[in-house]
Amino acid sequence: MKTTASVLAANFKHWGLHHIFGIPGKSISPILFELLNQDIHFVLSKHEAAAGFEASGYALMNQNIGVAIGTSGPGGTNLLTAAGQASASHLPLLIITGHPSMKDTGKAMGQDSSIFGTDLVNMFKHVTKFSARVERGDMLKPYLQHALEKALSGVKGPVHLSIPFDILLEEIEPFQLDFPATYEMISPNTGEVIEKLNKATRPLLFLGKGVHSSKAYEEVQHLAELWNIPVITTPGGKGTFPSNHKLSLGAFGLGGTPEATEYFHQKVDLLIVIGSKLSDMSTAGLSEAMHPEHLIHFDYDPTFIGKSIQVPTTAVLGDIKSNLKTILKDLPETNSEGFLSTPEMIPLDENNPGERMSAVQVLRAMRNALPDDAVIFGDDGSHSFYGIKHFDIYKPGTFFFDDIFGAMGNGIGYSIGAKLAAPEKTIVCLVGDGCMFMHGTEISTAYNYDSPVLFIVLNNGRLDMVEKGMRKMIGTSIGGIYETPLDAARFAESMGLKAYTCQNPYDLTDMIKDALHMMKETNKPIVIEALVDENEIPPTMGRQ
């Protein structure tokens, strides 16, 4: 017999996890002690929400599952934001929270997480696929198995277990759980897709972040090339299709390109949406007059199909990659090399002395300096919408951004967890000063646990997207400008990191190259602060 905590930690080891993220507390301490016995690193985050972001980035990059642990009461409520973000990002995140003691439930207890206090199980039900309290040791196995099945099957997402202190110490029969087998869900409408593609005269592919979730990069490229279909992406779909592909029109919606909008204006007869809810972020600028004659919608979840663009729609439900493979299985291969142009250095415009540089120039400098396979995590804010519009993608699966839930600071945590899961990859966090104010202390976590992420901070002393949006609506802004702006370099240095401030794109290009070299030598993160024009209008003004 072994304690519940030791059985749980042994399963973490069995799943191949090397890092668990969280903040300690009495109610979860038995798990932490057992991590030592399993040689699993416990990553001390600075905030539980950030621990959840880090575990989510870890799951994204290891294509497995991430685990975040928080104590009872406020530790759990802080993790609610991370659960909402993981749900929007379709990432398998196991959240474990504590509870003082099952036998004392109903008494007055500090940080009570039962129905008599802060009912975490009920709270998490609204932002996870499964939330339950393990009230006896023998309940761990069926509940943990069900949590894994929910997290890793269908539309992946977060799950939550609350395990009281005395239950973690209870002795149970050891068990070992494997990840659930996945079953392909193939739509009966795949034949209809081929028929409609063959008849279409002006089709358009619209790629969302579901392509990231299913890793269907090769399949969407094959589909586009076979029928010679132009491709646009949603903000969350950025990074699913190469920018140097001759069929790429760039992004649509917030951060969209003129080319994408122009193609819509010339009337589309068939729009093929792959892995997108078609939120207001993705359809900004799409008037009813621009609607297609027919829509084919690939998605696992039918909830939003037919809601945003109300035209005759063919739903293709199930796993995107599996459905596309079924459609393409008997069709000829294409020569992708013939569709790709050779990436070239982008000319930069130097700002005048004493003036701040354009955010557009920051993104172009990043593209010139970073390797083609560098993985970018865009945090939420106008800085990432500049990236969506101006940062070219040469390798699919190298740009991640959430355009639905949009928790500020999520990209900081995602990038740290991703680097720990894939130390061989170049990981970059594109972040703004507002996000750094919110979760910037996590760069200390990156420093302390050898997660050498390159943090590039666009600093204009304001919550740019909100501030400019208010000005557009009412002619002024309220609470959008920091009275004392962030000094990102000194902030980073206070936590031990090397940090640099750049004032023009040429210096930024050189600094990025130098930073990549330094990080290989030191295995520590670096912060580069880019001072950008406070008055520049971001590509986010099209949202109604």
Task: Quick: pLDDT tens for 121-136.
Answer: 999 999 999 999 999 9
pTM score of the predicted model: 0.96
- Give the model's pLDDT for residue 106: 66
Q: Which of 481, 412, 467, 487 minimizes the C-alpha distance to 444?
A: 412
- Give the model's pLDDT for residue 105: 74
Domains belonging to the chain, first-starting first, are: 2-172 (3.40.50.970), 190-339 (3.40.50.1220), 359-531 (3.40.50.970)
What is the spatial distance between Cα 396 and Cα 222, in angstroms, rounded to a whole number? 13
The sign of the dihedral angle between the CA atoms of 54, 60, 62, 68 is positive
Map tokens 């975490």 to a residue.
120
Sequential DSSP letters for 332-371: PP--GGGGBPPP-PPP--PPPTTSPBPHHHHHHHHHHHS-
Task: Quick: pLDDT tens for 396-448.
Answer: 999 999 988 999 999 999 999 999 999 999 999 999 999 999 999 999 999 99
Asked if 428 contacts 374 with a C-beta cutoff of 8 angstroms, the reply is: yes
Confidence of residue 185 (pLDDT cuts 50, 70, 90): confident
Q: For residue 464, what are its two tokens?
A: 């740019």
Longest dimension (CA), the chain: 72
Examine the pLDDT at 544 and tell me if it is beyond 60: no
Q: Which of 186, 194, 102, 183 minimizes the C-alpha distance to 139?
A: 102
Q: At 2, which amino acid appears? A: K
- Give the model's pLDDT for residue 542: 66
- Give the model's pLDDT for residue 102: 65
Q: How far, CA to CA in Å, does 344 sit from each of 247, 364, 420? A: 18, 11, 31
What is the spatial distance between Cα 84 and Cα 406, in angstroms, rounded to a whole number? 9
Q: Which of 5, 125, 30, 25 minimizes the C-alpha distance to 74?
A: 25
Residues 97-126 as b or e (16 or more Cβ within 10 Å = b): bbbbbbeebeeebebbbbeebbbbbebbee
Arithmetic mean of pLDDT, 255-261:
93
What is the spatial distance between Cα 92 and Cα 75, in angstroms, rounded to a whole number? 20
- Give the model's pLDDT for residue 51: 98
